[in-house]
């Protein structure tokens, strides 16, 4: 998706073991990014994103 000329993916790496997601619960009226740094935060992420996120954290194994 493109917001104000910047291309975004739904989930992307922020480096250092963290990821960022678009908070899809706030679309289409508001655009917000949520940064997640671990499994606990990913577990509480918006339900639409949760399944894809959990595979990004190695401590889940």
For the question of whether the overall pTM of this predicted structure is more than 0.85, the answer is no
**DSSP assignments along 6-59, one per residue:** EE--SEEEEETTEEEEE-GGGTTT---EEEE-SHHHHHTS-HHHHHHHHTT-GG
Domain segments of the chain: what residues? 2-22+37-60
pLDDT digits (tens, 9 = 90+) for 8-55: 998 899 888 888 988 887 888 889 998 888 877 777 776 555 555 555
The residue assigned the tokens 């639409």 is 48
Q: What is the pLDDT of residue 49?
A: 56
Residue 58 CA to residue 21 CA, distance in Å, equals 18
DSSP 45: S
Whether residue 28 has a cis bond before it, omega within 30° of 0: yes
Over range 50-61, report the average pLDDT.
54
């Amino acid at each position: 998706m493109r917001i104000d000329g910047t291309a975004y993916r739904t989930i992307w790496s922020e480096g250092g073991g963290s990821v960022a997601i678009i908070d899809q619960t706030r679309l289409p009226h508001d655009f917000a990014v949520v940064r997640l740094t671990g499994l606990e935060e990913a577990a509480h992420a918006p339900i639409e994103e949760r399944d894809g996120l959990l595979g990004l954290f190695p401590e889940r194994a």
